[in-house]
Structures are given as C-alpha cells and as structure tokens.
Structure 1
C-alpha cells in the first residue's frame, strides 16, 4: 500500500516537472525544486533560530563597507533587470494587457527567459538582507512581513519562471525591480553614515512606493478576469500574482498605519515638532528651573541649546556645571 502511494506521488511529481520550460535547462537552481527549497529552509533556520543563537553572546558586527557595496550592487542589478524586461517585451511588442509567453527560441524569447531567471536569482541574493540584520543584531527588523516576503517570493517565482518565463506574469517582476532600485539606493545611503541622513527625508515614502507597487500589480492581473478571451498559458500564475499583490498590500498597509498613522515611527521632524508643547526650563548662569518629563534646555554662553538634559536620572551640564555630583570644567 505504501509503495503504491509512493509510486503515485513520484509519478505525479515527474509529470509536474515534465511541463517546465526546456529552455531553462542548465540554469543554476532550475534543475529541481529541491535545491532552491533546501536553500530557503536553511535561510529560515538561520534567520529564526541558528543566527540569533550564534549572535546571542557576541557583539554586533559593523559591516558598513560590506553593506554599502551590497546595496549599491543590488541597485545596479535591479536597474539592469528593469532594462532587460523592457527590452524583452514590455517596450518592444507587449500590449500591457493579455500578453502570452513566447516559448520560441527567438532572440527576444530567449532574452526574456534570461531576465526572468535573473530576477529569480536576485531574490536568493536578497536573502543576505536578513543575514545582515542577524549579524548586526537588528532583531526588530526581522518581522513576519520580512521573513514571509523573503522566503515565499523566491519559492513561488521558481515555479513561475519554470513554466511561464514572460508574458503577463512578468509585469510584477519588472515593477518589483523598479521598486528595488529605489529601495536599495536608500539602504546604500543609509549605510554610508550620518552625513547622508539629510538626504533620507523620503524614508516614509518608501512604504508608499511599495503600496503603489502592489496596487499596480493587482490591477494588471485583474484585467485577466474582465477579458472576453486571453490565451495566457498558465492562468494559475496570474491568480497567484493577484493574491500576492492583494495580500502584501494589506500587510504593508498595516505597517504604514502602525508606523506613521499611530505614530510609532514618526519622522524626526515630526518628533521635534511634538516636543514644542512640552514644559522646558532654561539653565542660565548655573541656575535651572524644574521641568516636566525630565527635559531641560540649557543655554551656555555661546547660545547653544542642549535638549533632553536629564537622562536616566543623571544631569549633564556643560561649561562649569555639575556632572554626577562633581564639577566638570570646560
């Protein structure tokens, strides 16, 4: 009985794999779903268990140079992927409506196969996002949304590339690559240090850009349901893309609400504005008035203001003021 069930499962498995695009033979990770699944399971094991345990009693790594190099490499890679998608069909013949896959060995068809695979491969490179978080002990960044996105996306796209590398289904890959050009450019500047912070005022809008991405992806896939006829060869891929876009729109909308509407991640300018209504005291000529929320504004002889003067129960003064009960000379 068990052998019969096993034989049927293997037979079904072989039939499923037999329908893959033969043009992808020889491409890394495309011979079998086993290798890519093993990589993703290893990723989950490292991100959720092994990595945090390894780093538990270690200091976080800086990795500044590595992160700058990594992020800007992905900017260039994502830019190249966008260009190749455009040249493989989206600006050279696609109608942006019902566009079937080209399974021929024409230069155009083979070019689309290459860029579809390259997009998939880039998703495995991007698993390093989480590795950097773990090594830098940025555990708050490793959320359900982050893990789900980095593990689910490559797995589903492997099947999409295997059966339909191109056509309507490649639209969301192209849009996603556009977003990643912007996203990794932001990450690269952020990793470069404080001197570039003034150029990152648009952090809040990164989530808005991602929300627009999911709207575009879902709307494009929705066309299929209103067409009288469409010969796209694998409709199930469009169903998955529609669900993917809608589901992630909900998740990212919740993130936006929690971070910016409820104010858990207010931009610095907003935080500073909210401080204006709080009570303050001015320290001048060595005298201070009581303040609310443990805050002071200290003015030295040069007119410099120091906010949040009371931290963890200790006052910090400058220019002849006390520090932990002792006099500190300027």
Structure 2
C-alpha cells in the first residue's frame, strides 16, 4: 500500500510540477478553470441550452455549413496526421518516441487541443438539426473526454510517446470526415452500412492500439518519462471507450444483421 501511495504521489508531483510546460504558466488557456469551463459549457450547450432553444423551432438547414466544416476538419486532421508522422519517423524508437523535433512536438500538442475544441461544433450541428438520436451518451462523453485529453497533452510535457494518441485519432478522424463530407453532399452515402461498420471498426482498432502502446510503454523502464498512473488511466479510459463502441457495434450492426437473417 505504501508503495502504491508513493507512486501516486510521485505521479501527482510529476503532473503538477515536473512536467508542466512553464512557458504556459501565465496563459489563461492552460488554467484548469478554462478546462472545466470548456467541458461544462459544452455539456450545458448541447444538453440544456441548445435543446431549449430548438424546442419550438423547426430543424435548421445547415448543409452549406456542414460541407465547410467537414472540409476544414479534413484538412486539419490530414495536416496533423502528417506532422505527427514526421515526429514518429524522426525518433529512433517508434514505441517510446524520442524525437529531436521538440518544437514540432509542442506545436502539434497545441494544435491538437484546439482541434478537440473545434470537434464540439459537430454536436451543436446535431442540436440545430434536431438529430437528438446522435446526441447520445457515447457521443457527448467522447467529445468531453477528448477535450480533457487534448488539454493535458497541451499543458504537460509527458514525453513524445503521447503523440501516438494524436496520430491515431487524427488519422481515423480524417477518414471519418471524408465520409461525413460525402454524406453532406449526397445523402445516398448514408445508406452504406458497410462504410459505417468500417468506420466503427477503425475506432475499435484505434482504442486497442492505444491500449497496447501504453501497456507496453508502462512496462518499459523510463519510457520517455510517461507517469505510470497516467498510463493506467489512459489504458482504463480506452478500455471503457472500446466497450462503449463495441456495444454500439453489436446493437447497430451485428444484432440487426442477425435479426434480418432470421426474419
């Protein structure tokens, strides 16, 4: 028990003192209050304010906004995927990334946090279109936790291994937003069950990959100074997301396919 408490204390001290990027000490964006405000504001907007605003209104036709938003997301995710690929490629160790491109690592961390804030606009679009089914617990929880992850990645110097989160997440989102762009241009794309299943499968592979990376990373001594407690939290979080997406996959695709075959 004493050893566990000691590790927790060391990880807490690491996160609050050792790993903080002190260049951001005076910047309001990196205040915990800003993080809490972002998550609370997001939840209040999509669960209370937005639905109340739309209560007696017809769904808005925001097709042009959707097309523009999807194009922006495609470009940003593609650029970040490339930048992180350059970081990983420059490292002699691919799992415990140790890139000499320190400025690029810092830049991608900050861009990634900004991108996770931009992602939240997607839920606002769902509310404005009265697509209540899409504002699910899974969707809202995913966006909320990604704001937190992006903020932690931007504020703390957790070693370059953390760029794997950005690489996998941005790559998967690049593919997803290409599909979303196609559906916003031509709704016929929404009928493709195969594409939807493939996108969900990619999400599942992403979570499993991150679980593997941070499990192996936690077993390697001094793997780029990533704290063991934070590795454990990341692993549990991705396990939780994997279970939620697996449940969604089972109910939406596997169970429905089985029912159709039996009918």
* TM-score (normalizing by structure 2): 0.85
Structure 1: how far apart are the matches of 2:142 and 2:227? Answer: 23
- Higher strand fraction (1 or 2): 1
**Per the alignment, in what secondary structure is the counterpart of residue 29 of structure 1?**
helix
Asked if 1:67 is matched to 2:66, the reply is yes
Preserved contact between residue 71 and residue 184 of structure 1 (Cα < 8 Å): yes
Structure 2: how far apart are the matches of 1:168 and 1:60? Answer: 43
Structure 1: how far apart are the matches of 2:189 and 2:242? Answer: 30
Equivalent in the alignment of 2:242: 249
Structure 1: how far apart are the matches of 2:85 and 2:92? Answer: 9
Equivalent in the alignment of 1:162: 155
Report how far residue 241 of structure 1 moved: 2.0
Equivalent in the alignment of 2:142: 149
Report how far residue 62 of structure 1 moved: 1.2
Q: How does 1:7-156 map to 2 (within 5 A)?
A: 16=16, 20-24=20-24, 29-30=29-30, 32-87=31-86, 89-99=87-97, 108-156=101-149
Report how far residue 236 of structure 1 moved: 3.3
Asked if 1:173 is matched to 2:166, the reply is yes
Report how far residue 22 of structure 1 moved: 2.4
68 and 58 in structure 1: CA distance in 2 versus 1, 3 angstrom threshold: same
Structure 1: how far apart are the matches of 2:253 and 2:96? Answer: 38
Q: How does 1:221-260 map to 2 (within 5 A)?
A: 221-260=214-253
Structure 2: how far apart are the matches of 1:196 and 1:248? Answer: 26
Runs of 5+ in structure 1 lacking a partner?
1-11, 278-330
Structure 1: how far apart are the matches of 2:27 and 2:177? Answer: 26
Structure 1: how far apart are the matches of 2:72 and 2:171? Answer: 14
Preserved contact between residue 126 and residue 135 of structure 2 (Cα < 8 Å): yes
User: Paired residue for 1:182, among 156, 175, 179?
Assistant: 175
Report how far residue 201 of structure 1 moved: 4.6
Report how far residue 18 of structure 1 moved: 8.0
Preserved contact between residue 169 and residue 238 of structure 1 (Cα < 8 Å): no
Report how far residue 86 of structure 1 moved: 1.5
Asked if 1:208 is matched to 2:207, the reply is no
Structure ranking higher on relative contact order (CA contacts 8 Å, 6+ apart): 2
Structure 2: how far apart are the matches of 1:109 and 1:61? Answer: 44
